[in-house]
Amino acid sequence: MLTATLAAMLLASAAGPVDARLELVPEADRLNLRLCFSSAKVHKLSYQLEVRAQGRAGTSRSRQSGELTSAPQPQCPLNNWLGVAPDSHIEATVTWTIDGEEQTPLHQSYPSTEPAGAPKPAPRQSPAAESMVARSASNLR
């Protein structure tokens, strides 16, 4: 059991052939949602993004999907701006595949949800400090 757990942890931490990033970056009353992929070798990727927004005005849900061929140069097929009311909660989830193999979904929310009592990281100096990034490296070999 312990060996299987350690093997799973090592596989999960190993760098995979494709780097995927889901970013939610707040700017004033808007939120920039960006999805980017890069890889050392060419891979056929497909993705589906689902965004769910909840606020005083109700709930909305939208989906976008597509396909691309990854390359060393980062490709960002999605770069969307969302209006954000002060009471809004946004959740974004990306399901994706590499050469037809399902990968671990990416999930991000705004405002970020951290457990109560979790230690707060030291403040950063750059404007990117407020950005939220979910990264995934696949285990496909």
CATH node for 18-113: 2.60.40.2420
pLDDT at 78 over 80: yes
Asked if pLDDT for residue 116 goes beyond 60, the answer is no
Domain ranges of the chain: 18-113
Give the pLDDT confidence score for residue 103 in this predicted structure: 97
**pLDDT value at position 57?**
86
Burial of 127 (0-12, 13-18, 19+ CB in 10 A): exposed
Q: Confidence band (pLDDT; 50, 70, 90) for 42?
A: very high
Q: What is the pTM of this model?
A: 0.69
Residue 1 identity: M
Average pLDDT over residues 72-101: 95
Distance CA 14, CA 105 (A): 16
